[in-house]
Amino acid sequence: MKLSFGGDSIFYLSLPGAIKAINESSIKLDEIHCVGFSCIPLFFSEYYKSEDRAFSVVRNIWKDVRKTFQHLDDNRLLKTVDLLKTLYRLGRPMHGITPIRVLEDFVDKYFPDITTDKVPRLKIHAFNLEKGDDKIIHGNLREAMKMTLAFPIHFGAYNNHVSGANVCGVHEADMLFLLNMAQKPIPRNAFDYMMLSTISRTYEITRYHKEKARYVIQFNETNSEPDHLVPQLYQKTRKKLKEFGLF
């Protein structure tokens, strides 16, 4: 089975709980597709072949993630708009608010210098700005992670690639796994409405992919702390898989 995760929110760092439940089920996974934040825990789960160890890594890097990335779960729409305004004030609309070196240092610090074939089931996606399409990144693992974590506005593109999390929402697969904020922000001005229209476009693409999928697992969350969310996702995912008759 082909399984695909979204990745535009820090909620996805708690996926070790979900993937543990999935691996305990009757599902045989052939491919695991990720984009953005979901690639972080999914890589460690696949690399160490242990969801518990992946959870340990997530707990260890949690504070650094919160420091490195500014487009987290607190209020994604309003935070994105604030970053956009800052870029325009600085006259740097095509560059990120944070130097790309910050992202490079984060990835080099926590990810091994290996090739992606060391985790053959994991398919890391990024969006190619030059060609205008999404692709699975092969080759150096660190390079792949920098491309998929190079969120537009926050960071500039890395080697002409950015995260496709806000482009396609989630990639097509037999089973989709999505995490959303439980509460949606209220637009305040024209900038907010502009961003809402972009987000709505992504939702439409996601809806299309959900209609084509055989199974869809989707949860709305409010607390992104891994100590809280990892066990919650484990229990919720197990329950959902039992409803699908996959246990």
DSSP collapsed to 3 states, 12-49: HHHHHHHHHHHHHCCCCCCEEEEEHHHHHHHHHHHHHC
Q: How high is the pLDDT of residue 234?
A: 98
Q: How high is the pLDDT of residue 183?
A: 56
Nearest to 47 by CA among 19, 76, 11: 19
Domains and CATH numbers, the chain: 2-240 (3.40.1090)
Q: How high is the pLDDT of residue 168?
A: 80
Residue type, 197: S
* Cα atoms in the 13 Å half-sphere on the side-chain side of 203: 7
Q: How high is the pLDDT of residue 78?
A: 43
pTM, to two decimals: 0.87
- Average pLDDT value for the chain: 86
Q: How high is the pLDDT of residue 139?
A: 98
Q: How high is the pLDDT of residue 81?
A: 45
Q: How high is the pLDDT of residue 206?
A: 82
Give the Cα separation of 112 and 178 in Å (integer). 27
Parts of the chain with a pLDDT under 50: 74-75, 77-78, 80-81, 83-85, 87-88, 90, 92-93
Give the Cα separation of 208 and 168 in Å (integer). 10
Task: Convert the pLDDT of each residue in 183-193 to its tens digit.
Answer: 566 666 655 55
